[in-house]
Structure 1
């Protein structure tokens, strides 16, 4: 299944304020880049405001229906990259067989080294959100989040956590790493919600 198409709007309609278009893909992160020799011990935990916690191996995750999504991404540092093609698991498909509790209003994404980011549940569950293992037909490199990263393209790209290890459904909006360090709690690039004072 493929969501999205190559859009033909003028760049001005697609490029958020004060962003510059790049053909490359800059590497930005905090902390170390994890390099996995094997994915045998890798798992993805889904927990919090759910009827039952779940742990998925990488192979189990790959057994879910795979989708392709084309989108634009926008980094809070000022670059944007158009027409990215991702492959992975639809967030909606992943949690279809899970029962979310009524108080599940937010999602906290947990990555390696204790890194987290937060977003409202309705943003995480959008049709365009996915858990990606590939970009442009190739597996993600370690620098870009191998083996799995979130992709939530309508928010600044720090919300699309690399090296994903956990998805926590939460009742309250808890700031993640960058949010605790001055970044915006939501991060809409078209409203320039870069910092907490924006």
Structure 2
């Protein structure tokens, strides 16, 4: 697979070990790409160990205060893309009124077609975590997660679920689709936590 212009930056403190920097944004997924012509039936559910479960329409999410961070992303397959400018809603803004139960320690992100990935609650709630609809000034393409994807930049990018549809709060760690199929439960790129045997 060709990623476009690639430069090896072993000594760059922004690039984790054994990653190659690319200026392109490779498309990697398994299964079908969902396409939406009408978002009137799309929603995002928040449930599980919360006092106030919520369901947001796309319009309701767009009405929340905006966040526009820039960060680097690192794929488990070995590429890194620097200086990604996002627009969306900070995770903390989305969940501020749901009343997360004190015993909730993990989240499971649910995407279209049954895809899931797990995160420790503290990682999901980091200041850098975002629910994004725009990348580098353009709406996300269907291949990159339109209409909404998670962005959790400090972990390998499979943890930033595309086509996000639900956020479930849980008391214990529950492996998602990729974790059940050999990917690491946590996925720290700086420790090269790529696979379950790492």
TM-score bracket relative to the smaller structure: over 0.9
Counterpart in the other structure of 1:50: 50
Q: 1:134 aligns to what SS in structure 2?
A: strand
Cα deviation 1:37-85 (Å, max 9, x = unaligned): 1000000000000012111100000110001010000000000000000
Counterpart in the other structure of 2:28: 28
Counterpart in the other structure of 1:128: 128
Distance in 2 of aligned mates of 1:53 and 1:193:
33
Q: How does 1:61-72 map to 2 (within 5 A)?
A: 61-72=61-72
Could you tell me the TM-score, scaled by structure 2's length?
A: 0.94
1:175 and 2:175 matched: yes
Q: 1:113 aligns to what SS in structure 2?
A: helix
Cα deviation 1:80-107 (Å, max 9, x = unaligned): 0000000000001111111011111001
1:31 is displaced (CA, Å) by 1.0
Counterpart in the other structure of 1:93: 93
Q: 1:13 aligns to what SS in structure 2?
A: coil
1:161 is displaced (CA, Å) by 0.1
Distance in 2 of aligned mates of 1:31 and 1:11:
36
Counterpart in the other structure of 1:151: 151
Contact 2:107 2:170 survives alignment (8 Å): yes
Runs of 5+ unmatched residues, structure 2: 1-9
Contact 2:52 2:97 survives alignment (8 Å): no
Distance in 2 of aligned mates of 1:47 and 1:187:
24
Runs of 5+ unmatched residues, structure 1: 1-9
Counterpart in the other structure of 2:7: none
Counterpart in the other structure of 1:15: 15
Q: 2:13 aligns to what SS in structure 1?
A: helix
Contact 2:184 2:193 survives alignment (8 Å): yes
The number of equivalent residue pairs is: 190
Could you tell me the TM-score, scaled by structure 1's length?
A: 0.94
1:171 is displaced (CA, Å) by 0.5
Cα deviation 1:145-168 (Å, max 9, x = unaligned): 000000000000000000000000
Q: 1:132 aligns to what SS in structure 2?
A: strand
